[in-house]
Amino acid sequence: MNIAVYLASASGNDPALKEAVLKLGEWIGSNNHTLVYGGSQRGLMGDLANSVRSNGGYIIGVLPKIFMTPSIARDDLDELYVTEDISERRKKMICLSDAFIAFPGGTGTLEEISEVMSGVCLGQIKAPCILYNLDGYYEPLKKQLEIMVEKGLSSREKLQKIRFAENLEEIVSIITKEAEK
């Protein structure tokens, strides 16, 4: 299964982030899944790719031309797609992936998973969309989605397609159940 993971090219200041991203990478690699990600060697992106690689996984990077520099681009990807811009990168990652995980990240992570969330709610994407709610990271977003339903601007049925997972075990369970359908 090709699993897109959206996450930061920064490391952050919480050691739990690196620990969790290494476990996620270990699971992806050791279960013969393919990582589809932003292609960076830096920060959490680099940590995830290192973990997938060290556990025998296959790695696909999707990088906009602007990031094709030696200090950013990873040079040992199994496949690399270079796009014109971020918008094209988002579309390519969606096309390549069978499941989507938003690890805690910054505005880029939020931008990318938002397109997936919208596609899932509209029925255009039929794949798991999971927000890794590590230590409550995505609680404010979860609350905002609830407010959308309360105000009649979205439906509970649509938003139930967006899943929040508190840990790796929940992510594995969601992906496994979806794959069995």
Tell me the per-residue pLDDT of 81-116, one tens digit each, with 9 for 90 and over.
Answer: 999 999 999 999 999 999 999 999 999 999 999 999
What's the confidence (pLDDT) of residue 67? 86
Quickly state the pLDDT bin for 6 (edges 50, 70, 90): very high
- What is the C-alpha to C-alpha distance for residues 17 and 143, in angstroms, rounded to an integer? 22
What pTM was computed for the model?
Answer: 0.95
Please state the rounded mean pLDDT for residues 67-93.
92
What's the confidence (pLDDT) of residue 73? 86
Quickly state the pLDDT bin for 140 (edges 50, 70, 90): very high
Domains and CATH numbers, the chain: 2-175 (3.40.50.450)
Q: What is the DSSP string of 127-140?
A: S-EEEE-GGGTTHH
Please state the rounded mean pLDDT for residues 9-26.
97
What's the confidence (pLDDT) of residue 20? 98
Sheet containing 99-102, strands listed edge to edge, beginning at the edge strand earlier in sequence: 79-83, 58-64, 34-37, 2-6, 99-102, 129-132, 162-165
What's the confidence (pLDDT) of residue 116? 98
